[in-house]
A and B are shown apart, each in its own frame.
Chain A
Amino acid sequence: MNANISHIIFKHKESIIDQWLEEIPKFRTEDSLQNITDAMYENTNREFVDKLLSTVKNQTNDHADLVPFTERLIQLGWPLNYITRGLQEFRKITVATLSKSETDYNDSIELLQEIENWIDEIVNLLVNEYSGSWENTVFLQKMALKELSAPLIPVVDKISVMPLIGTIDTERAKHIMENLLTGVIEHRAEVVLIDITGVPVVDTMVAHHIIQASEAVRLVGAKCILVGIRPEIAQTIVNLGINLNKFPTKSTLKKGIETALEMTKRQIVEMEG
């Protein structure tokens, strides 16, 4: 920033800080800011405004030294909208203060522009940091969801179980189908139990996806048993007129495993003695 202007801003530092600290609490409505102590709140505000003013001294518009502080704000859960409002307020106060007291400064337009640029750069930096952290979070959640999505678990030789949990949309159905089929090959499963205990709603669409998956399983050379059919699910299936007759269905995983053992010509026997 222009050394002259930075000098002027610096001269009014105390006044700007005081006004800002007075104004800023009116934005403290967000839940995340209600939960912290007043002392912590005031300290962080003060640190924030100090950091802002310290960037005035930067010759360039590179405010990299704000990054660690921003990261802390993100971690503490300070909402972006509070921060941007704080910055807008800061700009208003700075412009108001300077235009009142520096009437003899010969180029007020230049002064305004410098302040605009300065604050804009900081806004950009903060928004970038925040959105970067959001994207990261969304990415991690997606990955977590994918992992949780559809594991095929080998239970005993030739028998595997795929527990489905949560809502099944088209995108997830595709993913489930791929996991199911590669798992069948990998574990050399002859029977796969698809457990829908954890699927909240089975509508025509979900049933269609499950039927397609079991048809595909048949093509690669294994068989499906649909288990975990709760009474309300059985009701919807019949009421919707969905035909699940092509493959066996059982109410519980336990019964399904018994059927699977039968199909692979085995049984569980109790040891004597």
Chain B
Amino acid sequence: MRIPILKLRDYLLISVQVELDDKTALQFQEDVLSKIHEEGSRGVVIDLTSVEMIDSFIAKVLGDVVDMSNLMGAKVVLTGIQPPVAITLIDMGIMLEDVPTALDLEQGLDRLQLELEG
């Protein structure tokens, strides 16, 4: 299973609509990085509105995607993390520090613009 990645100008837009199993998550990581490489993207928004659960593995993959993309010169914003998911992550002690977040895709794009200008 592959998660579709949309390109919009300098940005990549990704809406995760499936339950993430380990393989899909790792495949996703690879796809995002090669897409950044291909397109020379400056920013990535990953929307997680439909994701019902993030465990420590998926959290690690997401955190890694953010760090790796930063290395390649692309800022990543995570959007739409649902309250139950946020609470569970905090309970687990996973803070995803230094990862920019926003309420939804639209605000995520605003946030990206801000980060890139600043």
Contacts and interface: CB of A to CB of B under 8 A. Distances in A.
Do the two shown chains form a genuine complex with each other?
yes
Contacts of A218: 101
Given A190-B103, A215-B95, A221 B81 contact: yes
Given A178-B83, A181-B83, A185-B83, A219 B90 contact: yes
A75 B96 CA distance: 55
Contacts of A221: 78-81, 101-104, 107-108
Give the secondary structure class of A's interface: helix
Interface size class of B (residues with CB under 8 A): 10 to 19
Interface string A41-84: 00000000000000000000000000000000000000000000
Contact of B107 (A177, A190, A216, A217): A190
A234 interface: no
A212 interface: yes
Contact of A182 (B83, B101, B103): B83
A184 B103 contact: yes
Contacts of B108: 221
B18 interface: no
Given A185-B103, A215-B95, A220 B90 contact: no
A215 B101 contact: no
Interface string B78-104: 111111011101100001100001111
Contacts of B78: 221
A190 B111 CA distance: 11
Interface string A110-134: 0000000000000000000000000
| B81, B83, B95, B104: residue with the most chain A Cβ atoms closer than 10 Å | B83
Interface in A196-251: 212, 215-222
Interface residues of A, number: 17
A111 B86 CA distance: 69
Given A177-B87, A181-B87, A212-B90, A219 B103 contact: no
Contact of A216 (B79, B80, B87): B87
A176 to B, nearest CB: 11
A220 B107 CA distance: 12
Nearest to B107: A221
B99 to A, nearest CB: 9
A220 B103 contact: yes
Given A178-B83, A220-B82, A221-B81, A215 B103 contact: no
| A181, A216, A219, A222: residue with the most chain B Cβ atoms closer than 10 Å | A219
B35 to A, nearest CB: 23
Nearest to A265: B114
Contacts of B81: 219-221
A192 to B, nearest CB: 12
A219 B83 CA distance: 9
A172 interface: no
Given A185-B83, A219-B81, A220-B82, 12 more contacts: A178-B83, A181-B83, A181-B87, A188-B103, A212-B90, A218-B101, A219-B85, A219-B96, A220-B101, A221-B78, A221-B81, A221-B101
27 contacts: A177-B90, A181-B86, A182-B83, A185-B83, A188-B103, A190-B103, A190-B107, A212-B90, A215-B90, A215-B95, A216-B83, A217-B86, A218-B101, A219-B85, A219-B89, A219-B90, A219-B101, A220-B82, A220-B86, A220-B101, A221-B78, A221-B80, A221-B102, A221-B103, A221-B107, A221-B108, A222-B103
The 10 A-B pairs with the shortest beta carbon distances in the complex, nearest first, are A181-B83, A219-B86, A221-B103, A221-B102, A221-B101, A216-B86, A216-B90, A219-B81, A220-B86, A212-B90
